[in-house]
């Protein structure tokens, strides 16, 4: 999932450099959403991993 966040971020940066403002903001929005989802899943993984017993 972090891979797709980085892909959308790079596409947004390239589109922004080329002057495609609407496309860049759309891809940046998608990258932000994916990053937030990734962070939430990562934190949940840490929390549940701490309570896991062997």
pLDDT tens digits, residue range 5-24? Answer: 888 888 888 888 888 888 88
Answer whether 22's CB lies under 8 Å from 48's CB: no
**Mean pLDDT for the stretch of residues 27-49:** 90
Q: How far apart are CA 32 and CA 43, in angstroms?
A: 17
Q: How far apart are CA 33 and CA 46, in angstroms?
A: 20
The predicted pLDDT at position 50 comes to: 87
Count CB-CB contacts under 10 A for residue 5: 19
Within 1-54, residue ranges assigned H as helices are: 2-18, 21-51
The predicted pLDDT at position 43 comes to: 92
Is the pLDDT score of 40 beyond 80? yes
Sign of the alpha-carbon torsion through 37, 42, 48, 53 = positive
């Amino acid at each position: 999932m972090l891979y797709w966040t980085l892909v959308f971020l790079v596409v947004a940066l390239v589109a922004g450099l080329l002057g495609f403002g609407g496309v860049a903001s759309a891809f940046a929005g998608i990258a932000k959403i994916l990053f937030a989802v990734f962070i939430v899943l990562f934190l949940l993984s840490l929390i549940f991993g701490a309570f896991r017993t062997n």
